Structure 1
Amino acid sequence: MPAQQPQKSGEVVNPDDVLDLNANAKELRKAHTRVKMDVERYMGDLKHMLEKLAPAIKQLKNSNKGTQDEIEEVRALYRKEALQRKLLYNQLQELRGNIRVFCRVRKDDRAECCMKFPSDQDIVVQHAQQGKKIFSFDKVFEPTSTQEQVFEDTKPIITSCVDGYNVCLLAYGQTGSGKTFTMMGPESNPGINIRAMKELFQVCSDRKETQTYDLKVSLVEIYNETIQDLLTNDVKTLELRTAGNKVQIPGLIEYPIKNVDDVKKVMAMGDKNRSVASTKMNSTSSRSHLVLMLNVEGHDKVTGAISRGSLVLCDLAGSERISKTEAEGQRLVEAAAINKSLSALGQVFTALRSSQLHVPYRNSKLTQILQPSLGGDAKACLFVNASPDAYNFSETVSTLTFGSNARQVTLGQAKQNISKGNK
């Protein structure tokens, strides 16, 4: 048989495959053209949308201002709420009606302490020979209490004068018990007077959108039963005029004040003229009652109403047994006048406590000048300052007894002094 010849190797292209490939290439070209057209169209739409979005972006930026307005509105609502809380506190104080009495014990590390403090309202005074006595007050401040803590509990009563109330705060106690420290304090650690003024200016500032206030201050001392204006170079003597529950002091100088610096200047002026003398108890013992009077007149921008309130801050002269101070001569006369006026104040508290028809305000210049603050339509707070020294046990018990009796006094409902005005 003849041998077979080998076949030639190689790929054979199917004509149908070539036709399909050509068709697919044409479809791919068409798809590419369509994608390109879609991209161009979508890019145009995107550009158009961005042009439309530009005003919205600008509006969003402007909305920040609207947010700030909303924040201010929230702040206004907060201020309104804060004012409402103050009004509710005033109503509570009106219902309570009693003189609030705080006790503050001086810090004295050198002395043998005769006191214990079972709670922040009770104080126990004990002596080896004279026994133990317990007293209760609205608040007891231990020797470690700070000026800030003392003012914090007093602040709501003081600031009521901005709302049109008459407010009075008195500091009572023997010489050297810390009355002046509580009321005045040093410049580096001020007492109630300066802190009260700062708080009042802050309240006035917080309400400046709806209220305007005029504040005027005067400063007098009651020395040997005479009233002396401390804001004049010649320290002139003044007379009192009373009509019902109102007291006028013709010729009394009042200084308008705008800030705390004005207050400090007025106090420095008065301090230069104040009668100060040495006693055996305290080398810088004040021999007179110091009375700072602040009148606040508010004008409501919305209703036109006018409110008139007052704040009386009284640093009473030290109460002492004359035999203990060894006073003589002029100092004896001063001590007798001080004790007489403090006794008159005690008599007024006794009459108020027992609801007597006649209250002996006229028994001294001190009680006369304090009559508007104790006469039934004011808020009053008494600080009894005590020494922890066992050596002063008798004076301490006398001071705490005075405060305990005052705490039982009911003044009645406090009244706002507000009159209608024109819008």
Structure 2
Amino acid sequence: MDRLFDRRGVIVFVAAFGVATFVLLAPAMAGAVVAGLASGTAFWFILCPAAPAPAPAPPAAPPEPGLAAVAATIDEPLLFVERMQVTHANAAATALLGEHIVGEDARLAIRHPAAGALFTGAEGRLPTQPIVLGAIGGGVGRHWEMAIHPVGEGGLLVRLADRSEARAAERMRVDFVANASHELRTPLATLLGYIETLQMANGPEDAATRLRFLNTMFGEGKRMQRLIEDLMSLSRIEAEQHSAPQDAVALDSLAAEVRDAIASARSVERDRIEIAVDGAAPVAGDRAQLSQLLHNLIGNALKYGRPGGAVQVRVAREAAGLRLSVTDEGAGIPREHLPRLTERFYRVDPGRSRAVGGTGLGLAIVKHIAERHRARLDIASVVGQGTTVSVLFPLPGEALSSKSHTIVTQDASKASIGTPKGA
């Protein structure tokens, strides 16, 4: 046996004696066979030295302590990623996606196809625009947006933003425009149709028809006017939503003024609107808006209450504040409709509402006025007995609990609609 080394590799001589074969290879000479030569009973193999194994990549490092500390104070889910591995996640991220995501491949941690595609693109070039993921993790019914930002040398910061409220607001805006357009288009079509007919009815025999048509046109014009006025009222109230009113307003005397104005304008017997006061106190408010709130509540009670029935207005001091309530003796409202009564253009009975001159915005305006006054709106109704709408106002220098401001609940006969968080 013999061994020979040269620059090209290692030449190994293997001799075969009968059935025995001997191979002499030192451990350092292990490699891959690249060629073989045969000569009689001897075999020669040329082996190239094996390439050294690559050094293992160092583990992905967590973000700098300062960055992790800042991320811990942020409510939005944040993930730090290095070489596609999640190295750190703040509490909001682990609450949404789970504790197990730290150490996982980022493309699996978020568990969304669009997120995986975005990460794959981020390996070569960072995306410039965030993407909407929809529901992820435990956020069923929520809409999340993901953005990727560079951090340090080769690191990525993944930010998840909850856009659910923005999307809901956009849907409300689209629905509002569509509903407002429909509400205006209907009387406008009626007006145009009657005008076209009147243009052809010029003879003396058409006088009665013209008068009837003109009266209808006048009614449709007034309906459009009321709708436009309510739309403008909503716009003004929303513009002032974040400025808390500070004037002292006595609700008991204001209720009496509104009762007299409504009785005069609608030819309603003054005694039908009963006012009861129990420990009244002034509230901090906008007098014009509170007058509009009372007009809407008393007007609705007269429209939808029992014909000739009484409307009860009550102002009462309670431990939590001052409660204003308006009760009618109408047919009542089925339970399933209660949570939606303050939606714009929502009607329990669309035909009846239009017949009595409703715009579908009255309770929406009441809700926004209540929100601006940091008050809570409650609606209770029993079918066959009537409906009570009440507003609980905080007294000057006091505030309703934040829990009261976020109630949107319903029992057998009651729905509570409160001020959103942060109002």
The structure with the largest helix share of the pair is 1
Calculate the TM-score normalised by the size of structure 1.
0.23
The structure with the largest strand share of the pair is 2
> Using CA pairs below 8 Å that are at least 6 residues apart, which structure has the higher relative contact order?
1
Calculate the TM-score normalised by the size of structure 2.
0.23
